[in-house]
Chains A and B, each alone.
Chain A
Amino acid sequence: MTGDTVVHAEGLGKRYVLGRRPAVHDTLRDALSSGARDVLRALRRRGGTRATDDTVWALRDVSFEVRRGEVVGVIGRNGAGKSTLLKILSRITEPTTGAAWTRGRVGSLLEVGTGFHAELTGRENVYLSGAILGMKRREIARRFDEIVDFAEIERFIDTPVKRYSSGMYLRLAFAVAAHLEPEILFVDEVLAVGDAAFQKKCLGKIGDVAREHRTVLFVSHNLVAVEALCARALWLDHGRIASDGRAGPVISAYLQGASPVVTERTWLPSAPAPGGGGVRLRRVCVRASDGAPPDRLSVHTPFVLECEYDNDQPTGTLRVHLQFYDEKELLLFDVGPPVEADASAQGSPTGLLRTVCHIPGNLLNDGRHRVALTIVRDNVPVVRHPDALVFDIQDSVEDREGWYEKWPGAIRPRLRWDTNIPVR
């Protein structure tokens, strides 16, 4: 018997009906008219079965077990079923198929401030929200001072929360939830809100819960936080479990899954290769300048992109242009060598040639990057390779100062600053 299992899911599935939700209509009139349409349609194609392609499985055949004290990160793209899974385990919505059980007191934190009412004071909201999250009145009373301390809002505890700053509101709301003391905690993207200090506090609290040998299921897009907090990760893809295991490998696998990483391509002289106009590609690769393996490039690591190609024509100058795209297919920049970089001003020699582009550290943001390559001869494109290289730039936790959200922006340069200089 699996004595220490506290969450058990077996074949969980959740089906939603697209467009027209399951026989739901905003008004009776809609229901009547759509009902009439259905009747007409049914009459027209008599005996024909209704198409079922307007349903979607948000979750499909999900089975896993969580043991007491485990902290499991649930990762996956938008719409992969992460939130649906949490909603089913929190009993907010029912599964369509399968079954699950949880053992012990469950606390679910699907948003910060569940049940808060703007007109009520901080004190009143602590009680209300506590009760809604499943605390008994006596428990709330016993922990009230602790909650207020944690939120750091003593002075405003009898002020309606609508007069709170958003930071105060979040702190109080999280403080209530943090003192829920569940044996199993389901958390969904709580870190998506709030400032750095607040996020640090939230993460710290989740870490505390884990240390107290309680069980946490933590849904997040934030891979840095998942890797920092969770020993185990569950990767959902299109509603199914794509991978389940130690957090590091699962996260790596998830990152690869986006569009496959290619840090090196080689073409043998005899094999067909991208080419034209007397130029043939032989090799492209990405390489960290410090010798680190190319799948461990961090935002700080300088690296190089190398391109080798055969040149058969002695006339004209070859130039390699690189276009950098981020994972959202945004063109970050398009670079080519400046004129003075050419080794031979009189034109490119024949034979096997190499062009190296040096990318400084602290330029690209973290995430998957695709490099498209174009070789031009005297401004005429002769070779194109749209996904010559695909590589990941990884975030580094060091300089985050407790802030774990995705760093915004297409690039992430480190610039020179002169700060706080007294001005006469």
Chain B
Amino acid sequence: MASLSERDPTTWIRPSTGRPTIALAELWRYRELAFFLTWRDVKVRYKQTVLGVTWAVVQPVASMLVFALFFGRLAGMPSDGVPYPLFSLAALVPWTLFAQGMSQAANSVVGSADLIQKVYFPRLIIPVAAVGAAVVDFVCGFAVLVGMMPFYGVYPTARALWLPAFVVLALAASLAVGLWLAALSTRYRDVRHLVPFLGQLWLFATPVAYPTSLVPPTWRPLYGVNPMVGVIDGFRWALLGTETGPGPTLAVSVAVTLVILVGGALYFRRMERVFADVV
């Protein structure tokens, strides 16, 4: 007779008490599921569309055109010596990654209500996969950005090796905010209305249409409380050679992101105990 082998795991089921933990090990065991959910989101997003994945570049490029016309041409916005279209696109591409990841993560848990009520897996997978789905769009936008650079006579340097770090920061920031919103949205459907609005306000609080140099130097570290300031400064520095390299502002952005991320994950874990009952 088959006996219980060592690898038969014993799963305990009891009311959770006390402080939540993030349970990273379990999250790692379910990495394939995260991949599949991301893959589903990407696959489904462009099914039965004419333009398909072209949509991924339409949004940042269209915004760039509008920004270039109104801020660049008409308002004469300074752009740290970089051609304005390039200057704004270098910010719009990571911004879109952040904004899309955040809003997808925010709506992901309510959107997965039927899964949550029918099958167990670590719930953190849901917002993580939702943010992951934004990466595909980012890669497309990034390709357009890099393709545009020679057109303006700007070529990347060794600094570009820093880019992955800024991408990770943008993803972390978007997951961090997304986790809070996703957990809140299970109780308060207001979140669905809040997200587009929040994205818009946040866009203006971020140096996308304008350079960080408009902010007085003494205030810049405080400005870094908005994690996307660190990301976009980093992008422009690494790709376009502006004078916004890593410094106190970036340090503040990273620290703030970490705090929101860990706090968000713990809050999410605490709320997930009742997800299946309230979602």
Interface residues, chain A, with chain B CB atoms under 8 Å away? 3-4, 6, 16, 21-29, 31, 68, 87-106, 108, 110-111, 114-115, 117, 119-120, 124, 127-128, 131-134, 136-137, 160, 183, 213
Contact = CB atoms under 8 A, between A and B. Distances in A.
Contacts of A28: 188, 190
Chain B interface residue bracket vs A:
35 or more
A87 B119 CA distance: 8
B15 interface: yes
B44 A117 contact: yes
A103 B8 contact: yes
A90 B119 contact: yes
Interface stretch (B110-118, B152-160, B164-172): B110-118
B118 A96 contact: no
Given A3-B4, A21-B278, A120-B44, A102 B11 contact: yes
Interface of B: 1-4, 8-16, 32-33, 36-37, 39-40, 43-44, 47-48, 114-121, 187-190, 273-274, 276-278
B122 to A, nearest CB: 10
B4 A106 contact: no
Contacts of A102: 10-11, 13
Given A68-B2, A115-B115, 7 more contacts: A87-B276, A96-B15, A99-B12, A100-B13, A108-B119, A132-B119, A134-B119
16 contacts: A24-B278, A25-B188, A92-B116, A92-B119, A95-B14, A100-B14, A101-B13, A102-B11, A103-B4, A106-B11, A110-B119, A115-B119, A120-B40, A131-B33, A132-B119, A137-B36
A90 to B, nearest CB: 6
Given A94-B15, A132-B121, A104 B4 contact: yes
Nearest to A106: B11
A25 B119 contact: no
Interface of A is mostly: loop
A22 B12 contact: no
A120 B43 contact: yes
B47 A25 contact: no
Given A21-B277, A103-B9, A97 B15 contact: yes
Contact of B32 (A93, A101, A137): A137
B1 A213 contact: yes
B12 A127 contact: no
A127 B35 CA distance: 11
Contact of B47 (A68, A96, A119): A119
A27 B190 contact: yes
B188 A99 contact: no
A54 B277 CA distance: 16
B1 to A, nearest CB: 7
A25 B40 CA distance: 31
A137 B33 CA distance: 9
Given A22-B278, A24-B278, A120-B44, A114 B10 contact: no
B272 to A, nearest CB: 9
B123 to A, nearest CB: 10
Nearest to A92: B276
Given A101-B11, A132-B36, A24 B119 contact: no
A93 B277 CA distance: 7
